[in-house]
């Protein structure tokens, strides 16, 4: 019978070495699993950051979509729009009015847009569709990243599965970011050029404001774009580690 294998050899051996005792084999397997998981987690810090940034970006995208403050209109006629300020969002338009309200009180009136309103400009229709797509794409990106990170932190060294889900998550993040970028940029352009909207009389809104400015929804959307694009870049940059102790599954 030959000499007993050296300790260093045992740690580099596969878990299924036939001549090792059961106790010794389990010790080697445990050491190998720990080294594999350590190697996987040490190369996934950017992807963990991608998940955090993607989560914040997705939340900000959802907030931006729900806010009415996309465009802030300043109007001269304060008979109905008492504050002289109206907010034009992608789903509705709102303003403060003291009309038909007791003295000292104010009420916010809102008119929701419908799919049959022909006066709504193209950038608002585009924003409605793209932001809904961005919300779904961002959620899919988060799901793919969570699945990949779960495999890593559970020590499941399945190269194809982990790599593909990070790539998939990165694609969803970037696509979501671009879907937010288009309506944010387009509406910012419309505000910068003080473009008008031909509201019908029932909206009590002038066809054009004396001035308009960027509302809170657009900077929030810009931050969401930056975070989603960074998240996608980090996810796509993942490289599976190759070590002597990792048994690859493809």
Contact indicator for 195, 121 with CB cutoff of 8 Å = yes
Residue 242 burial (C-beta neighbours within 10 Å; 0-12, 13-18, 19+): exposed
Distance CA 89, CA 68 (A): 4
Token representation of residue 166:
């990070």
Closest by CA to 217, choosing from 71, 114, 37, is 71
The phi, psi pair for 70, rounded to 5°, reads -85, -50
Work out the end-to-end distance of the chain between its first and last CA atoms, rounded to an integer number of angstroms: 38
Looking at residue 64, its pLDDT comes to: 95
* Cβ-proximal residues to 52 (8 Å cutoff; 6+ apart), any chain: none
Distance CA 175, CA 225 (A): 10
10-residue block means of pLDDT along the chain (250 residues)? 43 40 43 49 72 96 94 87 90 83 68 86 93 96 90 70 88 97 96 90 87 94 97 84 48
Q: Which three-class secondary structure state does DSSP give residue 242?
A: coil
Distance CA 113, CA 116 (A): 8
How many of the other CB atoms lie within 10 Å of CB of 57?
Answer: 29
Looking at residue 184, its pLDDT comes to: 96
Q: What is the pTM of this model?
A: 0.76
Distance CA 76, CA 83 (A): 10
Looking at residue 11, its pLDDT comes to: 34
Looking at residue 24, its pLDDT comes to: 39
């Amino acid at each position: 019978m030959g000499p007993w294998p050296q300790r260093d050899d045992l740690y580099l051996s596969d878990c299924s070495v036939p001549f090792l005792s059961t106790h010794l084999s389990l010790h080697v397997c445990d050491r190998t699993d720990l080294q594999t998981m350590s190697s996987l987690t040490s190369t996934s810090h950017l992807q963990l950051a991608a998940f955090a940034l993607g989560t914040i970006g997705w939340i900000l995208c959802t907030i931006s979509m729900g806010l009415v403050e996309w465009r802030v209109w300043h109007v001269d006629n304060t008979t109905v729009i008492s504050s002289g300020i109206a907010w034009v969002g992608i789903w509705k338009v709102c303003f403060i009015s003291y009309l038909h309200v007791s003295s000292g009180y104010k009420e916010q009136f809102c008119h929701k847009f419908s799919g049959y309103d022909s006066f709504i400009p193209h950038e608002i229709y585009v924003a409605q569709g793209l932001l809904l797509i961005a919300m779904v794409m961002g959620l899919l990106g988060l799901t793919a990243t969570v699945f990949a990170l779960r495999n890593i932190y559970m020590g499941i060294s399945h190269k194809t599965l982990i790599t593909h889900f990070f790539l998939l998550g990165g694609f969803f993040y970037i696509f979501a970011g671009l879907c937010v970028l288009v309506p944010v940029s387009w509406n910012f352009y419309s505000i910068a050029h003080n473009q008008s909207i031909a509201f019908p009389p029932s909206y009590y809104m002038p066809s054009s404001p004396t001035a308009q400015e960027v509302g809170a929804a657009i900077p929030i959307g810009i931050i969401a774009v930056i975070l989603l694009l960074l998240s996608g870049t980090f996810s796509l940059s993942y490289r599976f580690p190759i070590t002597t102790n990792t048994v690859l599954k493809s």
